Structure 1
Amino acid sequence: MTSPDRSTGPDGTAERPQEPSPHALAFIFLVVTIDMMGVGLAFPLLPKLIQGVGDFTISEAAFFNGAIAVLYALAQFAFSPLVGNLSDAYGRRPVLLIAQTGLALDYLLMALAPNLWWIAAARLVSGMFGATVSTASAYVTDVSTPENRARNFGFIGMAFGLGFVIGPFAGGLLGAIDIHLPFFVSAGLVALNVAFGCVVLPESLAPRDRRPLAGWRQSNPLAALRLLTRLPRLTPYLTCFFLVFMAQRGLESIWVLYADFRFGWGIREAAFSLAFVGLMYIIVQGFLVGHAVRRFGEPRVIGAGYLLAAVSLIAFAFVDSGGPAIVLVGSFILGAAIAEPALKSLATQLIAANQQGLLQGAIASVNSLVIILAPALANLVLANVSGPTPLAPLPGAWFLFGGGLFLLAFVVFRRARAAT
C-alpha cells in the first residue's frame, strides 16, 4: 500500500510538496510559540488574577483556578477536531488567521476582566481558539516531504519549548509591574502575528485536496477518535499518544509540588527547572530529531526514545536530591521529545492529504482529554504519598507509573511495527 500523503498531478503522478517559504514557517512557529506563551502566562498569573477580582482566600482561589482549568481543557477537547475539520474543508490559512484573532480577543478579556465570570468566559474563548496547534501541524504536513517532515514537526516542538521558557518569565517580570500588563502585551503580540500572517502566509491545501465539511457527528472529539480507530494501522499510534501524554501531563501537573515535597525546592528552583525543560525541548526537537530520523529512521528513534524516557522516570522515582533529579529530567526530555515528532511523522503517512487536519485534531483531542484526566489522577497519587498515612511508602509513585506507561507504549509500538 502506498502512502497517501501527497496529492497527484493531472497526469496521475505524485506531486511532491513545494518547500514552504521561510516566512510561512516563521508564522506557524510564532503561532505555536505564542499559544505556549499564553499557557506559561496563565500558570503563574491566573490564580493571582482570580484573587484580585473576587477578594478570595488562597483556598478559594485554588478551587476556582482548578475549575477554570478544567473548563479550558474541555473547550480544547471539544473544539480541536472541529477546527481540524474546518481546515480540511476551507483551507488552513483562514482557520489559522481567524483563530489567532480570537486568541487576541481572549487576552483582552483577561486583561479587562472585572469578575470571575469574565475570566471563565475568557478561558473558554482561549480553549476554543487555542486549538490551533492541530491546524498548524496540518499546515506543516501539507508543505513537508517525507524527508523533512519529522524535522518540521520538530520545529513545532521547538516552538513549544520556546513559548514555555518565555511565558513564565515574561509573565513574572510584567506581572510585577501590573497583573494585567502581560495580557495586554500578549494581545498585542497576537495581533501583530495576525497582520504578519495576512501578508506572508499562503494557503497550503489545494482546493482539489479539500473535502466537504463533516457534520457535528464527525466534528465532535469522540466521533473523531472513533473514526481513527476504524483504521487498524493507526489505532496503535493513537494508543501510544494517549499513554505517553498521560505520563507527561500528570508529571507536569504535580512537578512544583513534588519538587517542594521531595527536594525542598522553592519557587525559584522550580522556575529554573521548568526553564531547563523548555530549553531541552528547543534543543531536542529543534536540532536533534531531524538528524536522528535521517540517520536511524522513525521506528528506531521512537523505540529508543520510549525506552530512555521509561528508564529515566523509573530512576527518578528513587532520587531524593536535586542534582541527580535534573540529570534525569534531561534524559527523560531527550527520550520523550525525540520520539513524539517521529511518531507524528509516521502517523501522517497513513492518512490522505485531505484528512490531515482531522488527524492532527484527533491527536490534539487525545492530549486535551488527557489534560482532564492526568492531573486529577497524578494529584490524587501525590496527595496520598505525601500525606500522613500513605497506602505505600513510595514518594515517587507517579514517576514509576509514568515509566510503566512509556514501557507499555514501547510494547504497543513494536507490536504495531511487527504487524506491518
Structure 2
Amino acid sequence: MARRSSFSERENPEGGCHSGILLSRERLSSAELLQFDRRPNAPPVWPAVLTSFLHSVSLGAAMMTWLEVCKEVVGSGGGKEDTEAQTYYGRLLAVNGVCELVTSQLVGVASDKYGRRSVQIAAQLGQVVDYLMAALCLPPSFGYLPQVQRVMAWTGLFASRGVAGLLGNYKVTLQSYTSDISGAEECPQRMSYLGAAMVVGMCMGSMVVAIVEKMQLSFRACFLTATCMNAMIIVLVFVKWRDIAPRKNFTCRETNPFVGLHVLRINQAMVMYSTLVFLSAFSLNMYTSTLNFYCEKLLKMPKSTFIALGTMWAMESFILLGFVQPMLIRQFGEIGTLQLSFASMIAFYLLFSMLTPDINAWAFIIMILFAVGSMAYPLAVGLATRELSSDQQGLLQGAVSILETLAKIVAPLVASDVIIPRFNKPDQFFGMVYFVAGLLLLPSLACCHKLHSLTGRIDPDKAVMLEMH
C-alpha cells in the first residue's frame, strides 16, 4: 500500500527542507500524487459522522447536568455547596482523564491490530456504564430504579468515570477510521464534518435538557437519554462501520502510554500540530469543565439562557465547519484558516472573561468568536494525519489522545481547584479562569506562523493537471 502522507522531509528548489505534504506549489511526483486519491472503494463517511453526532447528543445531555449530579452527591443548598460541587466535578474529570491516559496508547495500537470497530464499541460501553451510574445518583423520574445513597454515590461516580476512561476515548478510533477511509485532500474537511456533527449533537443534547427542565422531570432523564444514544452507536458501529486499514501487530512495550509520543516529533510540522492540539484541548477543558457553574453561579444566567447560548454556538459552529471553512481554505489556505481560528479563540476567552451579570447578554455576540475557533482542533488533527502512513494512524490518534488527556487531567484541576475558589467573590475578577485560558493560547499564533514557513497550500487543481501529464 502506498504511503498516505510522508513527504515530511522534502527538499525545495532553493535548498533546505520543508515538512508536510502541503507543499503542492512544487512539482509532485507520481507517488506523491497518490496522496490526493479520493479512494472510490472506501466505505462512506456518513456512519462516522453519525457516530460523532449521536455521541455528542449524549455528551450535551450529560454535560449540562453533571453539576446537578455533583450537587446531589455533595449536598445541595447553594452558596458554598455549589463551589464544592464544581470542585468535585473537576476531580471526577481528572480521574476520567488519568484512566484514559493509562489506556490511551493501548486503544490506538489495539485499533491498528483488531480494527476500529471493536475498540469503538468498547469506548461506548464505557459511556453506558458512566451515564447509568450518574443517572442512579439522581432522584427517579417516574419512580423506577431507586436512588443510590450519597456515600455510595461519591465513590461510585469515581469508579464509573474510571471505567469509562479505561475503555478508551471514542475520538481515537473515530478519527482513525475517518482517516482510513479518506484521501489526504479529503481528510481535513471530513474531520470538520465530524466537528460539525459534534456541535449539532451538543445542541440536540441541550434541547433534551431544556425539555426535561420544562417538564419538571428529574435530570436522571437526561442521563438515560445519553445512555440510549451510546447504545445506538454500538449498533451503528457493528452494522455500518467497515475496517479497511492494514492490520499491524504490536508488542507490550507499545502499550506504554507515552511510547507513541515519538510520532509527534517526527518533523517540525508535526511538533507544531501537536502543540496546537494540546493548547486547544487545555483551554477547551478549562472552559467546558467550568461553564455551567460560571454562567449560572457567577454570571447569574438562568439555565434556559445558558442552553440558548449553547444552541446558538452549535448552529454557528455547524455553519462554519460545514460550509464556511472550505471557502476560507480556498481563500487563505489551511494554515491561514488555522491561524484565524486560534486568534478568534483567544479573543473570545479574553472578552468572555470581562463579562459581568449586568452585561451577560453580550455573551451571545462574543460567542461568534468561539464558533470561529471551533475550526481549530479538527483542522489541526486533519493536517497532522498527512504526516504518517495509513498503518500508523491508530498510533497517531493514540498519541493525540495522550495530549488531550493530559489537558483533561490538568485543566479542570487548575480551573476548579485553584482559580475559581480564589476568584469567586463579588469584588474579585471571577473571569480570571477564562483570561488565563486566553493567555495560554497565545503561543498558538507563533506555531501557525512557523507552519507558514514549513508548509504551503494545497492546490488540488494543480495536482490533477500534473497527474494527467
TM-score by length of 2: 0.75
Cα-to-partner distance string for 1:372-411 (whole Å, 9 max, x where unaligned): 2122223433433333775xxx554344433333331110
Distance, in Å, in 2 between the alignment partners of 1:244 and 1:107 is 26
| Secondary structure class of the residue paired with 1:147 | coil
Pair 1:93-2:131 in alignment: no
| Change over 3 Å in CA distance of 1:220–1:167 after alignment to 2 | farther
Superposed displacement of residue 370, structure 1: 0.9
Q: Residues 245-260 of structure 1 correspond to what in structure 2 (within 5 A)?
A: 245-260=281-296
Distance, in Å, in 2 between the alignment partners of 1:226 and 1:127 is 23
| Secondary structure class of the residue paired with 1:275 | helix
Pair 1:220-2:256 in alignment: yes
Q: Which runs of no fewer than 5 residues in structure 2 stay unpaired? A: 7-29, 138-147, 456-469
Superposed displacement of residue 3, structure 1: 7.0
Cα root mean square deviation, aligned: 3.2
1:33 is aligned to 53
| Change over 3 Å in CA distance of 1:251–1:67 after alignment to 2 | closer
Distance, in Å, in 1 between the alignment partners of 2:74 and 2:435 is 40
Q: 1:238 aligns with which of 271, 274, 277?
A: 274
Superposed displacement of residue 272, structure 1: 1.8
1:375 is aligned to 412
Q: Which deviates further from its counterpart, 110-119 or 11-20?
A: 11-20
Distance, in Å, in 2 between the alignment partners of 1:388 and 1:31 is 43
| Secondary structure class of the residue paired with 2:379 | helix
8 Å CA contact retained: 1:77, 1:366: no
| Secondary structure class of the residue paired with 1:221 | coil
Distance, in Å, in 2 between the alignment partners of 1:178 and 1:252 is 23
Q: 1:265 aligns with which of 301, 310, 318?
A: 301
Cα-to-partner distance string for 1:329-364 (whole Å, 9 max, x where unaligned): 212321x11222222222111112111112122222
1:18 is aligned to 39
Q: 1:139 aligns with which of 177, 182, 186?
A: 177
Distance, in Å, in 2 between the alignment partners of 1:180 and 1:254 is 21
| Secondary structure class of the residue paired with 1:333 | helix
Distance, in Å, in 2 between the alignment partners of 1:5 and 1:94 is 26
Q: 2:325 aligns with which of 289, 305, 322?
A: 289
Q: Which amino acid aligns with 1:194?
A: I
Superposed displacement of residue 50, structure 1: 5.6
Q: Which amino acid aligns with 1:350?
A: E
Structure exhibiting the larger radius of gyration computed from Cα positions: 2
| Change over 3 Å in CA distance of 1:298–1:252 after alignment to 2 | same
TM-score by length of 1: 0.83
Superposed displacement of residue 77, structure 1: 2.7
1:342 is aligned to 379
Distance, in Å, in 2 between the alignment partners of 1:50 and 1:257 is 11
| Change over 3 Å in CA distance of 1:96–1:17 after alignment to 2 | farther
8 Å CA contact retained: 2:56, 2:205: yes
Distance, in Å, in 1 between the alignment partners of 2:378 and 2:425 is 38
Distance, in Å, in 1 between the alignment partners of 2:296 and 2:218 is 28
| Secondary structure class of the residue paired with 2:421 | helix
Pair 1:5-2:5 in alignment: yes
Pair 1:187-2:224 in alignment: no
8 Å CA contact retained: 1:3, 1:350: no
Distance, in Å, in 2 between the alignment partners of 1:367 and 1:341 is 13
Identity over aligned pairs, percent: 22
Q: Which amino acid aligns with 2:288?
A: E
| Secondary structure class of the residue paired with 1:141 | helix
8 Å CA contact retained: 1:80, 1:132: no
Q: 1:361 aligns with which of 394, 398, 410?
A: 398
8 Å CA contact retained: 1:147, 1:294: no
8 Å CA contact retained: 2:106, 2:255: yes
Pair 1:153-2:191 in alignment: yes
Distance, in Å, in 2 between the alignment partners of 1:386 and 1:56 is 20
8 Å CA contact retained: 2:124, 2:234: yes
Q: 1:412 aligns with which of 402, 424, 447?
A: 447
Distance, in Å, in 2 between the alignment partners of 1:111 and 1:315 is 35
Superposed displacement of residue 47, structure 1: 4.7
Q: Which deviates further from its counterpart, 349-358 or 128-137?
A: 128-137
1:166 is aligned to 204
Higher helix share: 1
Pair 1:199-2:239 in alignment: yes
Distance, in Å, in 1 between the alignment partners of 2:410 and 2:126 is 27
2:159 is aligned to 121
Distance, in Å, in 2 between the alignment partners of 1:385 and 1:48 is 22
Distance, in Å, in 2 between the alignment partners of 1:233 and 1:196 is 35
Q: Which amino acid aligns with 1:275?
A: T
| Change over 3 Å in CA distance of 1:267–1:145 after alignment to 2 | same
Distance, in Å, in 2 between the alignment partners of 1:82 and 1:247 is 26
Superposed displacement of residue 414, structure 1: 1.3
Q: Which amino acid aligns with 2:39?
A: Q
1:299 is aligned to 335
8 Å CA contact retained: 1:158, 1:285: yes
Cα-to-partner distance string for 1:45-102 (whole Å, 9 max, x where unaligned): 44544666x6845637555444323222222233232211111122223322343344
| Secondary structure class of the residue paired with 1:36 | helix
1:327 is aligned to 365
| Secondary structure class of the residue paired with 1:325 | helix
8 Å CA contact retained: 2:67, 2:292: no
8 Å CA contact retained: 1:288, 1:338: no
2:142 is aligned to none
| Change over 3 Å in CA distance of 1:411–1:20 after alignment to 2 | farther
Cα-to-partner distance string for 1:224-251 (whole Å, 9 max, x where unaligned): 3355235443112111222222222212
| Change over 3 Å in CA distance of 1:339–1:244 after alignment to 2 | same
| Change over 3 Å in CA distance of 1:258–1:47 after alignment to 2 | closer
